[in-house]
Amino acid sequence: MINFGDLKTQFGSGLNFNKMQKQELIKKLQLEHNAFTSYILNLDEKEFLEAKEGKWTAGQQMEHIRQSVQAVNLALSLPKFALKLFFGKSNRPSKTNEELIDKYQLKLKNGGRAPRAFQPKKIELSNRSELNKKLNSITVALARKINKFHENELDEIILPHPLLGKITLREMIYFTNYHVQHHQLIIQQNLEN
Protein backbone atom coordinates (compact mmCIF):
# COMPACT_ATOMS: atom_id res chain seq x y z
CA MET A 1 0.00 0.00 0.00
CA ILE A 2 1.34 3.45 -0.93
CA ASN A 3 1.84 5.84 1.97
CA PHE A 4 1.48 9.30 0.45
CA GLY A 5 2.91 10.94 3.56
CA ASP A 6 6.14 8.93 3.19
CA LEU A 7 6.34 9.79 -0.53
CA LYS A 8 5.86 13.46 0.24
CA THR A 9 8.63 13.35 2.84
CA GLN A 10 10.95 11.47 0.49
CA PHE A 11 10.33 13.56 -2.64
CA GLY A 12 9.42 16.93 -1.13
CA SER A 13 6.33 19.07 -1.29
CA GLY A 14 6.42 19.18 -5.11
CA LEU A 15 4.23 16.08 -4.98
CA ASN A 16 0.86 17.53 -4.19
CA PHE A 17 -1.28 14.57 -3.11
CA ASN A 18 -3.65 16.76 -1.09
CA LYS A 19 -4.64 19.02 -3.97
CA MET A 20 -8.39 19.59 -4.06
CA GLN A 21 -9.88 19.26 -7.51
CA LYS A 22 -11.92 22.04 -9.12
CA GLN A 23 -15.39 20.60 -8.46
CA GLU A 24 -14.52 19.96 -4.81
CA LEU A 25 -13.24 23.54 -4.49
CA ILE A 26 -16.44 24.94 -6.00
CA LYS A 27 -18.64 22.80 -3.77
CA LYS A 28 -16.67 23.88 -0.69
CA LEU A 29 -16.90 27.53 -1.77
CA GLN A 30 -20.67 27.29 -1.92
CA LEU A 31 -21.05 25.26 1.28
CA GLU A 32 -18.79 27.49 3.40
CA HIS A 33 -20.34 30.73 2.24
CA ASN A 34 -23.88 29.37 2.62
CA ALA A 35 -23.05 28.23 6.16
CA PHE A 36 -21.63 31.68 6.94
CA THR A 37 -24.63 33.61 5.60
CA SER A 38 -27.06 31.27 7.38
CA TYR A 39 -25.15 31.81 10.62
CA ILE A 40 -25.26 35.61 10.18
CA LEU A 41 -28.97 35.62 9.29
CA ASN A 42 -29.76 33.71 12.50
CA LEU A 43 -28.06 36.23 14.78
CA ASP A 44 -30.35 38.50 16.74
CA GLU A 45 -29.92 42.28 16.59
CA LYS A 46 -27.62 42.46 19.62
CA GLU A 47 -25.40 39.66 18.29
CA PHE A 48 -25.27 41.20 14.82
CA LEU A 49 -24.20 44.62 16.14
CA GLU A 50 -22.01 43.57 19.07
CA ALA A 51 -18.26 44.06 18.92
CA LYS A 52 -15.45 44.10 21.42
CA GLU A 53 -13.34 47.24 21.46
CA GLY A 54 -11.32 47.49 18.28
CA LYS A 55 -13.06 44.47 16.70
CA TRP A 56 -15.58 44.25 13.89
CA THR A 57 -19.27 43.48 14.35
CA ALA A 58 -20.79 40.41 12.68
CA GLY A 59 -22.18 42.76 10.03
CA GLN A 60 -18.74 44.19 9.36
CA GLN A 61 -17.29 40.67 9.18
CA MET A 62 -19.92 39.88 6.54
CA GLU A 63 -19.05 43.02 4.59
CA HIS A 64 -15.34 42.13 4.76
CA ILE A 65 -16.09 38.69 3.31
CA ARG A 66 -18.20 40.29 0.57
CA GLN A 67 -15.34 42.67 -0.30
CA SER A 68 -12.86 39.79 -0.40
CA VAL A 69 -15.00 37.52 -2.58
CA GLN A 70 -15.81 40.49 -4.85
CA ALA A 71 -12.09 41.15 -5.41
CA VAL A 72 -11.48 37.56 -6.57
CA ASN A 73 -14.64 37.66 -8.67
CA LEU A 74 -13.49 40.88 -10.37
CA ALA A 75 -10.03 39.46 -11.06
CA LEU A 76 -11.55 36.40 -12.70
CA SER A 77 -13.68 38.65 -14.90
CA LEU A 78 -10.51 39.37 -16.86
CA PRO A 79 -9.69 37.13 -19.82
CA LYS A 80 -7.23 34.34 -18.99
CA PHE A 81 -4.54 35.85 -21.22
CA ALA A 82 -4.87 39.16 -19.36
CA LEU A 83 -4.46 37.45 -15.98
CA LYS A 84 -1.25 35.85 -17.24
CA LEU A 85 -0.08 39.13 -18.77
CA PHE A 86 -0.76 41.24 -15.64
CA PHE A 87 0.24 38.78 -12.93
CA GLY A 88 2.45 36.23 -14.69
CA LYS A 89 2.46 32.45 -14.45
CA SER A 90 3.39 30.31 -11.49
CA ASN A 91 6.90 28.89 -11.35
CA ARG A 92 6.06 26.41 -8.58
CA PRO A 93 3.39 23.85 -7.71
CA SER A 94 0.37 25.03 -5.72
CA LYS A 95 0.58 24.60 -1.98
CA THR A 96 -1.87 22.23 -0.37
CA ASN A 97 -4.88 23.65 1.42
CA GLU A 98 -3.18 22.98 4.76
CA GLU A 99 0.08 24.66 3.69
CA LEU A 100 -1.79 27.73 2.48
CA ILE A 101 -3.76 27.99 5.74
CA ASP A 102 -0.56 27.61 7.77
CA LYS A 103 1.06 30.43 5.77
CA TYR A 104 -1.96 32.70 6.30
CA GLN A 105 -2.10 31.99 10.03
CA LEU A 106 1.62 32.77 10.32
CA LYS A 107 1.08 36.10 8.54
CA LEU A 108 -1.72 36.94 10.99
CA LYS A 109 0.40 35.88 13.96
CA ASN A 110 3.15 38.21 12.74
CA GLY A 111 0.77 41.18 12.70
CA GLY A 112 -0.80 40.91 9.26
CA ARG A 113 -4.10 42.74 8.97
CA ALA A 114 -6.64 43.52 6.28
CA PRO A 115 -5.55 46.45 4.09
CA ARG A 116 -7.66 49.58 4.20
CA ALA A 117 -9.52 48.64 1.01
CA PHE A 118 -10.87 45.54 2.78
CA GLN A 119 -11.81 47.21 6.07
CA PRO A 120 -15.59 47.47 6.29
CA LYS A 121 -17.59 50.56 7.08
CA LYS A 122 -20.27 50.53 9.77
CA ILE A 123 -23.04 48.04 8.98
CA GLU A 124 -26.54 48.41 10.42
CA LEU A 125 -29.04 45.60 10.96
CA SER A 126 -31.11 47.10 8.14
CA ASN A 127 -28.19 46.33 5.77
CA ARG A 128 -28.11 42.60 6.58
CA SER A 129 -30.63 41.30 4.04
CA GLU A 130 -29.15 43.27 1.12
CA LEU A 131 -25.61 42.33 2.15
CA ASN A 132 -26.66 38.67 2.27
CA LYS A 133 -28.11 38.88 -1.26
CA LYS A 134 -24.94 40.53 -2.58
CA LEU A 135 -22.63 37.97 -0.97
CA ASN A 136 -24.72 35.05 -2.25
CA SER A 137 -24.83 36.53 -5.76
CA ILE A 138 -21.07 37.16 -5.84
CA THR A 139 -20.33 33.65 -4.54
CA VAL A 140 -22.50 32.06 -7.25
CA ALA A 141 -20.79 34.22 -9.90
CA LEU A 142 -17.35 33.25 -8.58
CA ALA A 143 -18.22 29.54 -8.66
CA ARG A 144 -19.29 29.90 -12.32
CA LYS A 145 -16.06 31.68 -13.20
CA ILE A 146 -13.89 29.09 -11.46
CA ASN A 147 -15.71 26.36 -13.38
CA LYS A 148 -14.51 27.90 -16.68
CA PHE A 149 -10.87 27.21 -15.82
CA HIS A 150 -9.14 23.93 -16.64
CA GLU A 151 -7.63 22.05 -13.73
CA ASN A 152 -4.06 22.87 -14.81
CA GLU A 153 -4.90 26.59 -15.11
CA LEU A 154 -5.73 26.68 -11.40
CA ASP A 155 -2.04 25.94 -10.75
CA GLU A 156 -0.67 28.08 -13.58
CA ILE A 157 -2.46 31.41 -13.15
CA ILE A 158 -1.38 33.58 -10.25
CA LEU A 159 -3.18 36.39 -8.47
CA PRO A 160 -1.93 38.96 -5.96
CA HIS A 161 -3.02 38.63 -2.34
CA PRO A 162 -2.44 41.53 0.09
CA LEU A 163 -0.88 39.33 2.80
CA LEU A 164 0.24 36.20 0.97
CA GLY A 165 1.82 37.79 -2.11
CA LYS A 166 1.41 36.11 -5.48
CA ILE A 167 -0.49 32.86 -5.13
CA THR A 168 -1.99 30.44 -7.62
CA LEU A 169 -5.65 30.54 -8.46
CA ARG A 170 -6.08 27.21 -6.66
CA GLU A 171 -4.46 28.73 -3.56
CA MET A 172 -6.72 31.79 -3.83
CA ILE A 173 -9.75 29.49 -3.78
CA TYR A 174 -8.29 27.62 -0.79
CA PHE A 175 -7.87 31.00 0.90
CA THR A 176 -11.38 32.18 0.02
CA ASN A 177 -12.87 29.00 1.47
CA TYR A 178 -10.80 29.20 4.65
CA HIS A 179 -11.22 32.95 5.04
CA VAL A 180 -15.00 32.72 5.50
CA GLN A 181 -14.58 29.96 8.12
CA HIS A 182 -11.96 32.06 9.91
CA HIS A 183 -14.29 35.05 10.16
CA GLN A 184 -17.24 32.97 11.32
CA LEU A 185 -15.04 31.62 14.12
CA ILE A 186 -14.04 35.18 15.06
CA ILE A 187 -17.72 36.12 15.36
CA GLN A 188 -18.48 33.03 17.47
CA GLN A 189 -15.54 33.76 19.79
CA ASN A 190 -16.57 37.41 20.07
CA LEU A 191 -20.09 36.41 21.10
CA GLU A 192 -18.89 33.75 23.55
CA ASN A 193 -16.74 36.30 25.39
Question: How many structural domains does the chain have?
Answer: 1
- CATH code where residue 119 lies: 1.20.120
Give the model's pLDDT for residue 192: 87
What's the pLDDT at 11? 36
What does the pLDDT read at residue 19? 83
Task: Report how far residue 78's alpha carbon sits from residue 29's, in angstroms, rounded to the nearest whole number.
Answer: 20
pLDDT in tens, 153-168: 999 999 999 999 999 9
Cβ atoms of 143 and 29 closer than 8 Å: yes
Q: Does residue 61 contact residue 187 with C-beta atoms inside 8 Å?
A: yes
At 10, give phi and psi (nearest 5°).
-70, -40
- Does residue 12 fall inside a structural domain? no
pLDDT, residue 12, reads 42
Residue 49 lies in a domain: no
pLDDT of residue 1: 34
- Residue 8 belongs to some domain of the structure: no
Question: Whole domain around residue 180: which residue ranges?
Answer: 20-44+56-192
Rounded to two decimals, the pTM is 0.88
Residue 14 resides in a domain: no
Sort strands 158-161 and 165-168 into parallel, antiparallel or unpaired.
antiparallel
Is residue 10 in a domain? no
pLDDT in tens, 97-119: 999 999 999 999 999 998 898 99
Q: Is residue 6 part of a domain?
A: no
Residue numbers in the chain where pLDDT is lower than 70 = 1-18
- 51 belongs to a structural domain: no
Nearest to 155 by CA among 140, 142, 172: 172
Is the residue at 145 inside a domain? yes
Q: Which residues contact 172 (CB under 8 A, 6 or more apart)?
A: 72, 159, 161
